[in-house]
Amino acid sequence: MHLRVGQVPVVVVTSKELARDVLKTHDANFATRPKLVAGGIVAYDWADILFSPSGDYWRKLRRLCIQEILSTKRILSFQHIREDEVLNLVDEIRAAGSSTPVDLSSRLHRITNSIVSRAAFGRKRSNAADFLAAIKQSVVMSSGFYVPDLFPRFTGILSVLTGMRRKLRAIRRTVDGILEEIICEREEMLKQARTDLPLLQGNNKEEENLLDVLLGLQENGHDFGFPMTRDTIKAIILVSSISYLYVC
């Protein structure tokens, strides 16, 4: 069944046979992604794998993510992080005693923040909750029926009139500010390592993380067929955080 929602054509698939045709037989015809307003503003001009339109850049970015970011080996390498956080939760519940109510919702939310923060950035961060709240909001604003996305010809003016652009720019400022701060910290630590200064100071132990992998690829000039710019690194970290948020 073919519908038109605003100016956007929509095909509703109602059987498994048609779903197979769409997702497998004619995948190339249906694989492209619309350039949503959220992807343009928050995801650095559609530079990440979620929002990037299907094409050569998307295929190369997908290869990088499969090989370096979201591989089974990489996911398993963070198993100790998940185990640590779960054990800490169990200890907290046990310490509360059998007669004390425990707010599991807030504790599970805190665990999620800690796991994503340690996997993506190497350690728990005080602003991890703000970062994850911002990317959750960006996911919500990219997955609903928002008027500016339904009328691509008038996206610019509609995103202003509805306030969507203002909200997304606020999310972008939060995300970009946190990522820039973290990247600068990691770059400084790498400089210290190269000059034989202690990489780890005090009790603030840093773990190998996704950002280190991307900065290493950028420094070594690893060729995936597209430039590994600062915005590209931020976009990949953003989508990786979303993946770990909903998968790990």
Quote the pLDDT of residue 196: 58
What is the C-alpha to C-alpha distance for residues 215 and 236, in angstroms, rounded to an integer?
11
Quote the pLDDT of residue 172: 94
What is the pTM (predicted TM-score) of this model?
0.78
In a domain, 3, yes or no: no
In a domain, 21, yes or no: no
Domain of 173 in residue numbering reads as 32-247
In a domain, 80, yes or no: yes
Query: How many CA atoms does the CB half-sphere of 125 hold within 13 Å?
Result: 20
Tokens (6 digits) for 190: 């790498």
For residue 171, what is the domain's CATH number?
1.10.630.10
In a domain, 23, yes or no: no
Tokens (6 digits) for 66: 């499969």
Candidate from 85-94, 131-140, 175-184, 190-199 with smallest mean pLDDT: 190-199
In a domain, 5, yes or no: no
Taking only the tens place, the pLDDT of each residue in 53-106 is: 888 888 888 888 888 777 788 878 888 888 998 999 898 888 888 788 888 888
Q: Which pLDDT band holds residue 244 (cuts at 50, 70, 90)? A: low
In a domain, 240, yes or no: yes
Total count of domains within the chain: 1
Taking only the tens place, the pLDDT of each residue in 128-165 is: 788 888 888 888 888 778 899 999 999 999 999 999 99
In a domain, 24, yes or no: no
In a domain, 164, yes or no: yes
